[in-house]
Every structure is written in structure tokens, then in C-alpha cells.
Structure 1
Amino acid sequence: MLEQTGLFPVEALDDMLASFFASEGQEQWLTARHDGAPVGFAFFRPEAHTDGTWNVLAIAVLPEHHSGGIGSRLMQHVEDILRSDGQRVLLVETSGTSKYKATRAFYRAKHYTEVARIPEYWEAGDDKVIFHKHLR
């Protein structure tokens, strides 16, 4: 699924999920299904050394299911889980390239505020864009 979305480097997956599969942290994984098959996912975890701040490390929906509301429902479910647990803040980090224009528009539509842009963070010409939302 990660390869099909084209949004994340597959080689980063092992590092990203290591503590999740080792049950070492508080990371959470949600899978969206359509007719029993996985079509999307969200992976989120608490930010180290913070009180109630979480980060969505990855959220993706297979291209053939875009615009069907799956991403919106996944994001809402993440927020609901964290709110019910009394968490305060949710961050999302993404790329500043044109490839991720729709991704940034998605977060804005979900009432996330762009709070930071770190120039050339990922690589030359690719800024890190950080979005923020209060959960309370």
C-alpha cells in the first residue's frame, strides 16, 4: 500500500515502525478497509518530551479511493482517539513540493494551521511543512 500511494519512501518504513512492532512505545496504527481489503492507513505517535502532543507520521489512501472521504474519516478517527484520551495537540509534517500540494490542501481543509516551514529540510528544494491543530 505504501508503494502504491507514492507518498513515502518504502525504505523508511522499517525505521518508522520498529518500535510499534516491538510494542515499545505508544504508537498507534489504523487501517481503513473497503470490502475487506486495506485501502488506507494512519500511523501516529506521541512527541517525545511533550505533554499531550502527538504527530501523524503517515496517513495515506490508495489513489483509486481518493476523494471518497476515507482520508477524512481516518484523520477524524485519529483526532477522536486522542481527544478521548485527553491529548492536547496534533502535528502533521509534510513536504513543501508541488507533489504534496493536495496533501497540504487536505490538512488546511481539516482546519490544521501551517505553523512552520523549514527550508530544504528533506533535501535541496524540499521544505518540511508543519501543521498544527488543538484537540481540546
Structure 2
Amino acid sequence: MEIQEVPNTKAPIELLLEADPSVEKIQAYLPRSQCFAAMLQGEPVGAYVVQCIAPGVYELMSIAVLPEHQRKGIGSELLKHAVTTVRNMGALRLEVGTGTFGYQLAYYQREGFRVVAIEKDFFLVNYKEPIYENGIQLKDMLRLAMDY
């Protein structure tokens, strides 16, 4: 597997939809972001998108792995790549937003992210359709950060 930057115009939208169910939201943040894809035999099996949101501060906008390639360490490799990439770009902090429960929360905390804020009703206000995980509707978003 090789992780490489891909032009925003070639970002694997269908793959990114695994993490963010809104095509509109993905298309809105892509032009101001950098996209990286995990390639396996010439095909993207995972991807992430980062964006500079303030001097020295980047946000991990999305990170996703195709369902058939999950639980193989690809997501962890992508996250480590994102951490290293933005650090090399001069970041002092990397932020990410996620639901208030589920495997994603533990995934980020295992890599050293810490909760810094809660955005109440984020998923209710920002998504037309309800988003469910394990049969529970997502309502609030946790903001996590890793400082360098």
C-alpha cells in the first residue's frame, strides 16, 4: 500500500462518503483542502482530507476506508500519515470532529487526540438526514485535537 496526494478534482468522493454522508459538504471543503489516498494495486482503498483552518492549525476533514478493507490497519496508517504530513507543513495542532460515541472516538484517542470541545446539535443542524451509528442518532460532535 502506498499513500499519495491526489488532486482535489480527482478525490475519491464515493470513498469519502463512507465518513461523511453529504456530497455537498465534501464538495464544499475539497477546493480548500489537500487529499491523500491509500492506493492498493492502483485503486484507492482509503483516503483522508486535511485543511488549514488557521495559522498553524489544520483540520482532518474526513478519513475513510472502504468497508471491505477495514480492520487491516489502513485507517491507522492514514491517520499517522496525516499527523506527520501536517506536522511537516508546520502545523502546531491537528483537529478533528467526530460523534460522541463509537469506535471513531477510541480510534482518535488511541493516536493521542484529546477532547477539546463539544458542538451541541452539530449533526442535527448541519445534515438534512439523521445520521445513526449502532442504532443511536448522532446529535453532538466532539472536537478533538493533537498539539505538537
Whether TM-score is above 0.5 comes out as yes
The TM-score with structure 2 as length reference comes to: 0.74
Q: What is the percent sequence identity of the aligned residues?
A: 28
- Kept after mapping to 1: 8 A contact 2:38/2:44: yes
Which residue is equivalent to 1:14?
27
Q: 1:63 to 1:117 in 2, by over 3 A?
A: same
Paired position in structure 2 for 1:89: 93
1:1-136 residue pairs with structure 2 within 5 A? Answer: 1-3=15-17, 5=18, 7-17=20-30, 19-20=31-32, 27-47=33-53, 50-96=54-100, 98=101, 101-123=102-124, 126-135=139-148
CA contact under 8 A between 2:19 and 2:63: conserved in structure 1? no
AA at the equivalent of 1:116: A
Q: Which runs of 4+ in 1 moved over 6 A?
A: none
Cα RMSD of the aligned pairs, angstroms, is 1.8
1:84/1:11 CA distance change after superposition, 3 Å: closer
Report how far residue 73 of structure 1 moved: 0.9
1:91-113: per-residue Cα shift (whole Å, max 9, x none)? 001123x5xx1111110111100
1:6, distance to aligned residue in structure 2 (A): 5.8
CA offset digits 1:50-74 (Å, max 9, x no partner):
3201000001111111111111111
Question: Residue by residue, what CA displacement relative to the aligned partner does 1:77-125 show, whole Å, maximum 9, x if unpaired?
Answer: 11111222221000001123x5xx1111110111100111122122076
